[in-house]
Amino acid sequence: MTFTLAIVGRPNVGKSTLFNRLVGRKLALVDDQPGVTRDLREGDAKLFDLRFTVIDTAGLEEVTDDSLQGRMRRLTERAVEMADVCLFLIDGRVGVTPTDEVFADILRRKNAHVIVGVNKSEGKAGDAGAIEAWSLGLGDPIRLSAEHGEGMDDLYDILRPIGDSFAERAEADAPLVDLDISEAEAEQEPDPQAFRPTYEKPLQIAVIGRPNAGKSTLINKIVGFDRMLTGPEAGITRDAISVKADWFDTPIRIFDTAGMRKKARISDKLEKMSVSDGLRAVRFAEVVVVLLDVETPFETQDLRIADYAETEGRAVVVAVNKWDLEGEKQEKLAELREMFERLLPQLRGAPLVTVSAKTGRGLDRLHAAILKAHDVWNRRVPTARLNTWLGAMTEAHPPPAPGGRRIKLRYMTQVKTRPPGFVAMCSHPDLMPESYKRYLINGLRDHFDMPGTPIRIILRGQGEKNPFKDPKFHTPSRLRKHKASKDPDVKW
Residues annotated within the binding site for GTP are: 9-16, 56-60, 119-122, 209-216, 256-260, 321-324
CB crowding 380-408: b at 16 or more within 10 Å, else e: bbbbeebbebbeebbeeeebeeeeeeebe
Closest CA to 159 of 1, 325, 48: 48
Neighbours of 470 (CB within 10 A): 11
Task: Report CA-CA distances (Å) from 236 to 267, 314, 317, 386.
Answer: 17, 26, 24, 48
Q: Judge whether 412 and 422 are in contact, CB under 8 Å.
A: yes
Binding annotation: 9-16, 56-60, 119-122, 209-216, 256-260, 321-324
Query: In what helix (H) or strand (E) does residue 292 lie, and over which residues does it extend?
Result: strand 287-293
Contacts with 335 (C-beta within 8 Å, 6 or more apart), sequence order? none
Q: Judge whether 57 and 39 are in contact, CB under 8 Å.
A: no
Q: Judge whether 297 and 325 are in contact, CB under 8 Å.
A: no
Q: Judge whether 287 and 317 are in contact, CB under 8 Å.
A: yes
Tell me: cis bond preceding 419? Omega within 30 of 0 counts. yes
- Judge residue 443's burial from the number of C-beta atoms within 10 Å of its C-beta, 0-12 exposed, 13-18 middle, 19 or more buried: middle
- DSSP letters spanning 145-169: BTTTTBTHHHHHHHHHHHHTTS---
Q: Judge whether 433 and 400 are in contact, CB under 8 Å.
A: yes
Instruction: State the alpha helices, DSSP H only, in 382-466.
Output: 383-396, 434-447
Task: Count CA within 13 A, CB hemisphere, residue 137.
Answer: 9
Closest CA to 442 of 429, 455, 460, 425: 455
Alpha-carbon 175 to chain mean position: 9
- DSSP letters spanning 223-285: HTS--S---SSTT---S-EEEEEEETTEEEEEEE------GGG---HHHHHHHHHHHHHHHH-
Q: How do strand 179-180 and strand 203-209 relate by DSSP bridges? A: unpaired
Length of the chain: 492
Neighbours of 142 (CB within 10 A): 22
Q: Judge whether 62 and 95 are in contact, CB under 8 Å.
A: no
Alpha-carbon span 471 to 402, nearest angstrom: 26
